Amino acid sequence: MKQLRVIPLGGLGEIGKNMTVFEYGDDAIILDTGIMFPEGDHLGVDYIIPDMGYLFEHQNRLKIHGIFITHGHEDHTGAIHHVLEHFDAPVYGTALTCGLIEVKLKQAKMRSAKINVFRAGDTIKAGPFELESFHVCHSIPDGVGFGIRTPVGLIVHTGDFKFDHTPVDNWPPDFARLAAFAKEGVLALLADSTNADRPGWTPSESVIDEAFDRVFRNAQGRILIATFASLISRVEQAGAACLRYGRKMAILGHSMSENIKMAQELGYIDFPDDLIVSLDKALQMDKNKIAFMVTGSQGEPSAVLSKLATKRHSQLEIEPGDTVVVSAHAIPGNENTVSRIINKLFQRGAKVIYDAVEKVHVSGHASQEEMKLMINLVKPKFFVPVHGELRHLHQHAELAISLGIPESNCVVVENGTILEFTKNKMTVGERYPGGYVFVDGAGVGDIGPAVIRDREILANEGFVTVIAQVNKKGELATDPHVISRGFVFIKEAEEIIDGIKDTVRKTLSKSRNGRRQDVVTDAITKYLYQETKRRPMVFAYIIEI
């Protein structure tokens, strides 16, 4: 008997965030193709993509009828070129989502993708699946979830969502369609758990208008607003504030410029022609007549905000009297970096407005009361919390249980776990091993745990390499050569260097057998620990001359 198999993939700590596979027999669809951002201990990793091992293993068997993208954020679109490289399936998204994907594919020099634009509310056939999209609100316009009709029943996937009654684009979520799904009968709901430990209701994006009003009313000098390059609706809100307070707007940051241009072309942003001015023009204007939109709200060192904070921007410099608005919340792991940038901006004399002091950012994800509403609107038989860390999934499952969904009908699973559905049953199947793949420079997947572990030791302790030349009798022929970085400041550590050389000399005089390289390595390691209580990586290389 054929079953529906649902497999959450990717997500670093978060489950089913970046990619989910729906499979019925040999037919499949992929939902989202996002990247993850490396955390502090993923040393040197540029970004992380979902492990497609399962798809590779079943590549010959599976026919992938489509790649469906819920919205245009990186954690849902960013791996699209890695997926298309291996799976030549058509891509489906709303206009803004596809616009952002096309910007991305152009950067990756990938031209042959089959991109299909639909409107929220449209239904798309894909093999044995029928996907009915429904509009949701989130911190980017034109997001959708999907009602996925499968041979075993209707599965509703919310995507990232919040129930915003007064969104920037005046397009509230499609409550009616969710209720209609319930009437049709929903086998399972897969719902966004990100804020499952936040009580209440996430504030509407419209509170930001009020906050911007206060900022624009009080600012005497220039205003700089930092946000995500893809946060199109925030740019719209900033533009509206500029219009209300008679300021022009300049855009700093390549990706933000590109995105705004695209959003204007597609009609998502409707600014008067003269609102946006060039940076050159902006710099000549009266300080109370201009606002700058800048990238780098997560503290990315190469983006504009960080450059401004550390005086590395070639054209713009922070001055006393400037008001800087950080219109974003630090993604977990970035808190420290963002704090430091805020402090540095204060140091340069700016007044900095961030989310702790003014509502210049709100979450794009539902809080507990919205989660309850989603569950009660959709009335699923089975409930699977997704998008969130394990702790959020557990809280979300508890919420569902508190609403009357039987505990046995709620499951918390991890990435790679295969969920099997028949018409009236949900079974937790095997867990497919793997997790995620590191991308570093040109390499996809060649950095594994072993390299990361070595980087960790090097990061904390540094290394010492000693090259010694010995004669046929095994005696030291010349002074050993020491190369070291990250251990001690070698130019001021003559004593240690001499100690290392002494250790090599003494050890060689005692040990002349084949394993002497190891013996010397051990002796140096021990000597260095005794002297410094540190354990750098030690490499001895002995050359017989």
Helix (H, G, I), strand (E, B) or coil at 394: helix
Q: By CB under 8 A, is residue 489 in contact with a second copy?
A: yes
Q: Which of residues 178-197 bind a second copy (CB under 8 A)?
A: 197
Spatial distance between the Cα atoms of 146 and 158, rounded to a whole number of angstroms = 7
In the complex, what is the shortest distance from the CB of residue 82 to a second copy, in angstroms, rounded to a whole number? 15
Token match 């710099």: residue?
283
Q: What are phi and psi of 207, to 5 degrees?
A: -65, -20
Contact 297, 228 (CB under 8 A): yes
Q: For a second copy, give the closer residue by CB, 111 or 533.
A: 533
Examine the residue annotation and report whether 396 is marked as an active-site residue of this protein: no
Q: Which of residues 272-331 bind a second copy (CB under 8 A)?
A: none
Helix (H), strand (E) at residue 108:
none
Cα Rg of the chain, angstroms:
28
Spatial distance between the Cα atoms of 151 and 130, rounded to a whole number of angstroms = 10
Q: Which of residues 339-368 bind a second copy (CB under 8 A)?
A: 339-340, 342-343, 346-347, 351-352, 354, 356-357
Contact 299, 293 (CB under 8 A): no
Examine the residue annotation and report whether 71 is marked as an active-site residue of this protein: no
Which of the following is catalytic: 71, 138, 365, 396?
A: 365
Taking CB under 8 A as the criterion, the residue among 486, 497, 522, 526 binding a second copy is 486
Choose the stretch contacting a second copy; rule: CB under 8 A; options: 180-188, 237-245, 264-272, 483-491.
483-491
Q: By CB under 8 A, is residue 534 in contact with a second copy?
A: yes
Q: For a second copy, give the closer residue by CB, 1 or 450.
A: 450
Secondary structure of 309-354 as H, E, C letters: HCCCCCCCCCCCCCEEEECCCCCCCCHHHHHHHHHHHHHCCCEEEC
Spatial distance between the Cα atoms of 11 and 434, rounded to a whole number of angstroms = 12
Q: By CB under 8 A, is residue 436 in contact with a second copy?
A: no
Spatial distance between the Cα atoms of 387 and 159, rounded to a whole number of angstroms = 8
Site string for a second copy, 142-181 (x = CB under 8 A): ----------------------------------------
In the complex, what is the shortest distance from the CB of residue 367 to a second copy, in angstroms, rounded to a whole number? 11
Q: For a second copy, give the closer residue by CB, 43 or 179.
A: 43
Name beta bridge partners: 276: 249
Q: By CB under 8 A, is residue 241 in contact with a second copy?
A: no
Q: At what angle do helices 95-107 and 254-265 cross, to 10 degrees?
A: 140
Spatial distance between the Cα atoms of 140 and 137, rounded to a whole number of angstroms = 8
Q: By CB under 8 A, is residue 485 in contact with a second copy?
A: yes
Spatial distance between the Cα atoms of 121 and 108, rounded to a whole number of angstroms = 30
**248-252 and 323-326 beta bridge pairing:** unpaired
Q: By CB under 8 A, is residue 532 in contact with a second copy?
A: yes
Q: By CB under 8 A, is residue 369 in contact with a second copy?
A: no
Q: Which of residues 442-461 bind a second copy (CB under 8 A)?
A: 442-443, 446-448, 450-451, 454-461
Question: Residue 449: which residues within 8 A CB-CB, separation 6 or more?
Answer: none
Q: By CB under 8 A, is residue 440 in contact with a second copy?
A: yes
Which of the following is catalytic: 27, 142, 164, 192?
A: 192
Q: Which residues bind a second copy (CB under 8 A)?
A: 13, 39-40, 43-44, 197-198, 332-333, 335-336, 339-340, 342-343, 346-347, 351-352, 354, 356-357, 389-391, 394-395, 414, 440-443, 446-448, 450-451, 454-463, 465, 467, 469, 481, 483, 485-489, 492-493, 531-534, 537, 539, 541, 543, 545
Query: Which residues are known to be catalytic?
Result: 192, 365
